Amino acid sequence: MLRTQQATLFEEELKWLEKVIRTRKSFGSTFDMRNFTIEAFKAVYDSKNEYIKLDIPEKEKKKFDVTMPALDLNNHYHRLVEHYSWAERLLLILSIANDLRPFYFNSIISDAKSYYGYSSYNFEEKAGLVERNDFGIVPTAQFFIYLIAGEELAIRLELIKAIAEESLLPIKNKLVEISEGSFHQPIYSGMFWMNKQNFINIIC
């Protein structure tokens, strides 16, 4: 029963991460993901487009609900993230998604489409994605920053500062680390990773 509950919990976290990725790819890179709602985005879009209004079917809207999953404080993972910010919780599930479901990012990113006139042809390049033959697409610090900030420079600088100062709780508490980026690559092209013992402690 406990294993089933844990599996259900992480399924919900992975579904949330999938919604975040789909939302960024579907609606472009001009908003702070932490504050995203369909209603707010539609209001801005409609105000800028006199003749074309954003019409999203109700059944589609739930695909873009990036609200964090509800907490069950009887579960130790949820007790761990109870005081995490939206960004910190995203960072934690981002760092273990491929361990929970191999090639997770390949399946999500290849399946996610761009909707409503927003081009996603270069999503992978903008997101700073890295693909390794043995693991598929792996999450980098650039990807984390892009998912939240898109191309909004002020938000990107906020996140870069938080990473550099190790003030994000998963990094501050040494749960998640960032590998060194490759030579001549952007500073935050390094991959997020978690050592085996931390991973076991989190999932069990």
Q: What is the pLDDT along the chain (204 residues), one digit of tens a residue?
A: 557 888 999 999 999 999 999 899 888 888 999 999 998 888 888 887 777 777 888 888 888 999 999 998 888 899 999 999 999 999 999 999 999 999 999 888 776 555 554 545 567 777 777 776 677 888 889 999 999 999 999 999 999 999 999 999 999 999 999 887 666 667 788 888 899 999 999 988
The residues facing 193 across adjacent strands are: 177
Looking at residue 120, what is its pLDDT?
52
Helix residue ranges, H only, the chain:
2-27, 38-48, 58-61, 76-81, 86-100, 104-111, 123-126, 141-149, 153-164, 169-172, 196-203
Place of tokens 């991973």: 199
What is the model's pLDDT at position 133?
62
Task: Check if the beta carbon of residue 95 is closer than 8 Å to that of residue 170.
Answer: yes
CA 124 to chain centre: 14
Q: Give the CA distances from residue 65 to residues 27, 62, 166, 204, in Å, rounded to whole numbers and listed in that order.
A: 13, 5, 28, 28
